[in-house]
Structure 1
Amino acid sequence: MNETLNFDFCNMTIYDHYVIVVVNEGVIVSTEHNNTLIKITETYFPNKPFVYITHRIHSYSVNPEVYSKTAQIKNLIGLVVVSKNYQAKINAKIEKMFFKKPFEIFSELDDAKAWAEDLVAEK
């Protein structure tokens, strides 16, 4: 499976074991945005484990409340931030404190995909 969905705040590509999200420039990811993302993952991954990969191409921010709600998705088994930007990686390290499941930070998307596949294979 490989399907791309476009929203006013992001683009989301669905794969068999993970979803890759590219949030638009300047967005402040709120709980409302997160609810949209949750509904999509419930549709495409109703009873199977998956990993959420955020590919941080653009500059945006995340309301930390989003992570506690996202962590409650039972079949979400991990989260990955992909960025080459130093500040985005620092922000991700802070965000990691709010997320109580496996959370990794990579510079390359291929590394994130491989980690996601490995994590799903372990489950």
Structure 2
Amino acid sequence: MRFHTRKWIKPEDLNANCTLFGGRLLAWITEEAALYSIIQLENPKIVLKYMSEINFISAPAQGDIVEIGIEAVRFGKSSITLKCEARNKMSHETIATVDQLILVNLGADGKPKAHGKTRVEFVKDRLASKDQD
């Protein structure tokens, strides 16, 4: 799993127990999943269709740095299925996991559209193949 995003926990991110508010973490995870999908499917029109149960494992506090890792586990006809782990950057302790996030590729009409992707592609490889054309 690749960890691309880091978030610094600030006072406005805390709940009544002075630990990270779960809703804030879910917003960060959803945003990271959308960005990952946009890059993989090469389309800015992506929506979250499904998120499996979230397993909250530890509670980070103000000042901690959260890393969010995303991994593609399946490519459907118009969807991509991801899994996610959020962890504490300093201790590498897992904060939460999500086994499935399903995001759907949309066409100009706002309806699901086939994306034609079957595997993870890295931008550097796309650029290299364009240079060879």
Of structures 1 and 2, the one scoring higher in RCO (CA 8 A, sep 6+) is 2
Higher strand share: 2
Higher helix share: 1
